[in-house]
Amino acid sequence: ERARWEDVVVVGELKDQQKMGDLSPKMVIQISNYVRETFEPQPGRRFVHAFTTYPQPENAMLDIHAVRRRYLQVI
């Protein structure tokens, strides 16, 4: 089943091939568009939590690909 905007609680995106801290205007506009799409079918909503994250380096303590569900619970 395809997700519907009226069911969205948090807007998030996992990016690859980017450096941490690189907030390009294109990326900010893209996540802003997702947030706008969330407000349209939820007119009573006052705010939306949104985030963009990148894959961890190989020596990171948490491998997000191995424990995806846990990673999303943490966020």
| Chain segment 27-72, per-residue pLDDT in tens | 888 889 999 999 989 989 899 988 887 766 665 665 666 677 766 6
- E-strand ranges in the chain read 10-14, 49-53
Token pair for 66: 């191995």
Does the pTM exceed 0.85? no
Task: Specify the pLDDT at position 74.
Answer: 64
Helices (H) and strands (E) counted in the chain, each on its own, are 2, 2
The better pLDDT of the pair 66, 20 is held by 66
3-class DSSP state for residue 44? coil
Task: Specify the pLDDT at position 26.
Answer: 82
